[in-house]
């Protein structure tokens, strides 16, 4: 099975379309979305519709639950909270209901998918260090744990002795005795210094995972955001990949 893995679309339809094209070219048979379909970007309904239609599993992100009114924006920064207000005002009832009902965790075979962390999904902690990854890998019930939330694509490996390392490159071949924590990065608002939309391909037969990156028309999205009156910093950061 080849699984297309993507996360943090954030209402960016142009980036989502590129990633879905790339995943079709990669001949994936399944799609898993790791949350934050909406928030920040100008096309929440179109993104929900596409993700819903194509995905075999979607887990909830904090922006999804906030936009659907299931959690408050008390922990959000000002720009993010403002974008949630805009999203709430523009989300149709069908999209809002879909987001409201999303599960927080999805488990299938050797794979767990959760937006933030497997140890406390509802606390929306960020996995930023090897120490954070160690806690999450200990809590992951499966060999592979897929996360999102930080918008930075990366792979943490737990070796058979329990040591944790961050992989330098953007691919990994699975070896017995190891466990993997893979952050899928972000489709619609990358923060790894690369403006391209990120996605991953997990091949369960070959036992490997690799990242892919696709350019999309950033300026077109920025223009839509400006017309929608979304916060300036959210518009600017797309061109920085930060
Ligand atoms: Zn996000």
Q: What is the pLDDT of residue 112?
A: 98
- Ligand 1 center to residue 48 CA distance, Å? 14
| 2-237 under CATH 3.10.450.50, yes or no | no
- Ligand 1 center to residue 14 CA distance, Å? 17
pLDDT at 240 over 90: yes
Mean pLDDT of 139-168: 96
Digit-coded pLDDT (tens) for 68-82: 999 999 999 999 999
Residue pair 47/20 in contact (Cβ under 8 Å)? The answer is no
Centroid of chain to Cα 56: 15
Using alpha carbons, select from 46, 43, 3, 53 the residue that is nearest to residue 23. Answer: 3
Phi and psi at 227, nearest 5°, equal: -65, -35
If one counts every other C-beta atom within 10 angstroms of the C-beta of residue 171, the result is 13
Give the environment of ion ligand 1: residues with CB less than 5 A. 8, 36
Q: What is the pLDDT of residue 168?
A: 83
- Ligand 1 center to residue 36 CA distance, Å? 5
Mean pLDDT of 44-58: 98
pLDDT at 6 over 90: yes
Q: What is the pLDDT of residue 161?
A: 95
């Amino acid at each position: 099975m080849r699984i297309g893995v993507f996360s943090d679309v954030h209402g960016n339809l142009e980036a989502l379309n590129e990633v879905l094209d790339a995943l079709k070219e990669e001949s994936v048979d399944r799609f898993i979305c790791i949350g934050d379909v909406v928030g920040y970007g100008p096309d929440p309904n179109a993104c929900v519709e596409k993700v819903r239609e194509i995905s075999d599993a979607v887990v909830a992100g904090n922006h999804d639950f906030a936009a659907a009114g299931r959690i408050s924006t008390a922990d959000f920064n000002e720009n993010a909270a403002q974008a949630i207000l805009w999203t709430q005002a523009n989300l149709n009832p069908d999209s809002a209901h879909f987001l409201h009902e999303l599960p927080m965790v999805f488990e299938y075979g050797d794979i767990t998918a959760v937006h933030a962390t497997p140890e406390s999904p509802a606390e929306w902690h960020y996995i930023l260090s090897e120490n954070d990854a160690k806690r999450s890998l200990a809590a992951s019930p499966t060999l592979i744990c897929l996360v999102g939330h930080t918008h930075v694509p990366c792979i943490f490996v737990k070796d058979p002795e329990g040591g944790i390392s961050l992989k330098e490159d953007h691919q990994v071949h699975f070896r017995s005795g190891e466990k993997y924590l893979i952050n899928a990065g972000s489709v619609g608002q990358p923060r790894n210094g690369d403006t391209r939309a990120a996605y991953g391909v997990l091949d369960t037969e070959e036992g490997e995972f690799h990242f892919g990156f696709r350019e999309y028309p950033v300026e077109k999205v920025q223009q839509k955001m400006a017309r929608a009156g979304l916060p300036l910093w959210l518009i600017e950061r797309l061109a920085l990949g930060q």
